[in-house]
Amino acid sequence: MKLATVRVDGRTVAVRIDGNDAVELGVPDVGSLLRMPSWRSLAAGDGPRRPLDSLDYAPLVTNPDKVICVGLNYRNHILEMGRELPEHPTLFAKFRSSLIGANDEIVLPAVSARVDWEAELAVVIGARARHVSEADAPGVIAGYAVLNDISVRDYQNRTLQWLQGKTFEHSTPLGPWLVTSDESPGPSRAIRCEVDGEIMQEADTADLVFSPSTLVAYISRIVTLEPGDVISTGTPGGVGHARNPQRYLADGETVVTSIEGLGECRNVCRKERSD
């Protein structure tokens, strides 16, 4: 099952993708749907239909309680950054104001010229979870989506803590839809990022150091995971900051982030005006 959040007449609504149509589900976003105990049966219901090609995608989850991100979680990316494989996941967070829809513009902040791409697999939580075992973790995952952890490198590297470079407003595409875990591809998924048609990242999620189940179990020991929470699982090699010469995003460039079986986000970059 594919679930999305779309904008309709000044509001947002959760929909189920059904062939060439989107079926409205009567709740404002996918996160609201997941907070309902019977969300799977509600998602299978009927409602007003809209053509798929007319959809204006909002962020998949518009008001998550938490957006938790994982750094240094692909073996090839860790090596390109000159680091050793971690013993524990590296965690940081984003605020919901950073999230944008699958086709929205990425805002390049006026204060930086070092904005980088990071294609990532997003895990969306579907049930409240605290102290979950790794074996039971798949049962609390609603499904998976595409995310790009757009990173402002000069701000990120000002200190040892990364948050200030990771949560600029209107920077992080999330979507286009949630593919529920029962229909998602297996642990091996091709992941790619292109900038103006040039392939920058191309890898496989099988290269993850810490799997989605491992991350859910680990994070649930620290904080209660709520339905609609998003875990972004890290990026593979090929980021602009690690290139020689370094390469960053520019006004007007198009970033396409795709994961096999999960769709793509296609976002134009626009420089923020400082006035």
Residue-level pLDDT at 210: 96
Structure tokens at 89: 């996941």
Would you state the torsion angle of the CA atoms of residues 7, 16, 26, 98, taken in this order, to the nearest 10 degrees? -40
Find out whether 15 and 52 touch, Cβ atoms under 8 Å. no
How far apart CA 148 and CA 201 sit, in angstroms, is 12
- Residue 116, classed as helix, strand or coil, is strand
Domain boundaries, the chain: 61-271
Torsion 51-268-68-62 (CA) sign: negative
How far apart CA 39 and CA 26 sit, in angstroms, is 12
Residue-level pLDDT at 275: 66
Find out whether 19 and 51 touch, Cβ atoms under 8 Å. no
Torsion 118-3-10-94 (CA) sign: negative
- Residue 78, classed as helix, strand or coil, is helix
What fold, for 61-271? Fumarylacetoacetate hydrolase; domain 2 (3.90.850)
Find out whether 65 and 228 touch, Cβ atoms under 8 Å. yes
Residue-level pLDDT at 78: 83
Residue-level pLDDT at 76: 82
How far apart CA 222 and CA 224 sit, in angstroms, is 7
Find out whether 255 and 165 touch, Cβ atoms under 8 Å. no
Query: 274: number of CA atoms within 13 Å, CB side?
Result: 4
Partners of 51 in the β-ladder: 21
Query: For the chain (length 275 residues), average pLDDT per consecutive 10?
Result: 97 97 97 97 95 96 98 86 88 98 98 98 98 97 98 96 96 98 87 98 96 98 98 96 96 98 98 85
